[in-house]
Structure 1
Amino acid sequence: DATQIRVYLNNNAIIDLAVDGEGRWRGDLPNVDEGIYTLRVDEMDAEGTITSRVETPFKRESAENLAAATRSGDGPVSVVTVQKGDTLWAISRERYGDGLLYVRVFEANSDDIRDPDLIYPGQVFDLPK
């Protein structure tokens, strides 16, 4: 029943987006500086009542970092932003089809992970091929 989506960064409304007849929506976030934010999306009905909400950490990379990450030209940037409840095992199972390959993610991000049993929402990890 959603007719509109409102997108927030750090609890500041950024943009309202229309929902089509199939329940789909799409839009670009305007003028977002690099940094780590809390991205929130509220689904609203025709009266403006919030019917659902989702929040997630969101990292906006600098143009220089994105250019460096894509310089090899062998595909899109492969990263994951850790969500509440994520584990290296679950990330590896989703990415590679085998949770035992968590070591691959751990080794690729060893500068950011001290203990593979302790990762935190908002951390951004490279996902090697």
Structure 2
Amino acid sequence: MSTEKKADFSGVTGSVDSTAQQVPKADFSGVSASVDSTAEVVDATYTVEKGDTLSKIAKQHLGDANAWQKIFDANRDQLDDPDRIQPGQVLKLPTR
């Protein structure tokens, strides 16, 4: 057992002084937000059948054969060439 006396810090107090300015709290009460998206809104999907083309699908489901580009754009994740769709593929159909 040690006979050394331990330091007594019971009377020690501390304080912190700062020269930093107090920053007022931010007021977000007037803040509003909205979200704009470049993604096409998808209404439905279509499963490609033998003999289908994007123009044929566009005419049948969007009412305009020239809207094939909209279908192609909505399915860029799976289509590299608009002339190469395969039976069984499930395509997203964009809104009109």
Q: Scaled by the length of structure 2, what TM-score is found?
A: 0.54
The residue aligned with 1:107 is 73
1:61-90 per-position Cα deviation (integer Å, ceiling 9, x unaligned):
xxxxxxxxxxxxxxxx50000000000000
Letter in 2 for 1:85: G
Matches within 5 A, 1:1-129: 78-129=44-95
Equivalenced residue count is: 54
| Identical pairs, percent | 45
RMSD over equivalenced CA pairs, Å: 1.5
Structure 1 consecutive aligned stretches of length 4 or more whose deviation exceeds 4 Å: none
Larger RCO: Structure 1 or Structure 2 (Cα < 8 Å, ≥ 6 residues apart)?
2
Gaps of 5+ in 2: 1-42
Gaps of 5+ in 1: 1-76
State the alpha-carbon separation in 1 of the partners of residues 73 and 51 from structure 2: 21
CA offset at residue 96 of structure 1? 1.2
State the alpha-carbon separation in 1 of the partners of residues 78 and 45 from structure 2: 13
Q: Which of structures 1 and 2 has the bigger CA Rg? A: 2
Letter in 2 for 1:88: L
